[in-house]
Amino acid sequence: MNKLIKIFTILMVAVMTVGLAACGATETAETGDPLSNDPYRWNKIFKEYRDDADVNQLVFVAGTEGSEAEMFLYVKDPSDNTWNRELETRCFVGKNGIGDASYCANITPEGVYGVSTAFGIKKNPGTSMEYVDFNDSDLYCCGCQDSEYYNQLIDAKKTGHKDCEGEHVIDFSPEYNYGMFIDYNSENDPEEDYAIFFHCEGMKEFTGGCIAVPEYAMKQILQKCDSNVKVCIYRRGE
Ligand SMILES: [Zn+2]
């Protein structure tokens, strides 16, 4: 090889290596990747919680089209407070997408939410969150708008609330094999929606306002998250 060509080749390889390294450097959670088309929203959330010692996991639900969305789980590295993406999957949201939810509107509520409890028909997969055993035929999530129990998990026998028109949770398998109750409508306002859960996928490619991910992903979310996790739900590009 001619010496000049050799030097040129070495230079090109060096440039390409630097180039690749630079690309690699931009592909960190801090830039919002893979939400690179609309990094502002997600970067703002990353920054907001980076120095919040209580919040160590972020679950992003990014709506793409209709009831289709993507889910990303980020876990904080305590050594330098950076976010590492540990899980990503497609997921489904309400039939009418993400937005301003209300009673039976089939809309997944937009915003940043905490989690009140985890639950499941299957046994606790090892989450540190409070875990409600849904394998109990007396348990309902009340959807009766005129009831004092609206939007609450209740034991029909203990409360005496008979003929509840809400969800008999044990009937929702595989959806409720694992899940968590997000704190949307924590005031239990009857004009707002009820039983807004983060749960496993069933047969449908949409939900009634919940977020549905594959069961393996739901299980991992429970295993990797604590009760201070934030669930951030927005449409992409907004
Ligand atoms: Zn009821």
Cα 18 to middle of ligand 1, angstroms: 62
* β-bridge mates for residue 88, sequence order: 72
Q: What is the mean pLDDT of residues 198-218?
A: 97
Q: What is the mean pLDDT of residues 186-211?
A: 97
What contacts 46, CB < 8 A, 6 or more positions away? 29, 30, 32, 58, 74, 83
Q: What is the distance between the terminal CA atoms of the chain, rounded to a whole angstrom?
A: 54
Cα 154 to middle of ligand 1, angstroms: 8
Cα 140 to middle of ligand 1, angstroms: 7
Pairwise pLDDT comparison (78 vs 19), residue with the higher score: 78
Cα 31 to middle of ligand 1, angstroms: 45
pLDDT of residue 12: 46
pLDDT level of residue 74 (50, 70, 90 thresholds): very high
Cα 43 to middle of ligand 1, angstroms: 40
What contacts 190, CB < 8 A, 6 or more positions away? 103, 145, 146, 150
Contact 212, 92 (CB under 8 A): yes
Interval 58-68: pLDDT, tens? 999 999 999 99
pLDDT level of residue 2 (50, 70, 90 thresholds): low
Cα 190 to middle of ligand 1, angstroms: 11
Question: Poorest-confidence range of 18-32, 90-104, 190-204?
Answer: 18-32
pLDDT of residue 34: 64
Residue 7: pLDDT over 70: no
What contacts 94, CB < 8 A, 6 or more positions away? 67, 101, 105, 106, 107, 108, 206, 207, 208, 209, 210
Cα 40 to middle of ligand 1, angstroms: 41
Cα 106 to middle of ligand 1, angstroms: 19
Cα 158 to middle of ligand 1, angstroms: 13
pTM of the model: 0.85
Cα 150 to middle of ligand 1, angstroms: 6
Q: Please enumerate, as own/partner, the contacts of 159-164 that have beta carbons within 8 Å and a separation of 24 or more.
A: 164/140
Cα 198 to middle of ligand 1, angstroms: 21
Which CATH code of 2.40.50.140, 2.40.440.10, 3.40.250.10, 2.40.30.10 fits the domain covering 35-235? 2.40.440.10
How far is Cα 58 from Cα 5, in angstroms, rounded to an integer? Answer: 50
Residue 15: pLDDT over 60: no
How far is Cα 183 from Cα 132, in angstroms, rounded to an integer? Answer: 15
What contacts 195, CB < 8 A, 6 or more positions away? 141, 143, 151, 166, 167, 208, 210
Question: Tokens in use for 134?
Answer: 């849904």
Question: Tokens in use for 237?
Answer: 């590009």
pLDDT level of residue 20 (50, 70, 90 thresholds): very low
Find where tokens 């639900």 sit: 61
Cα 159 to middle of ligand 1, angstroms: 10
pLDDT of residue 23: 35
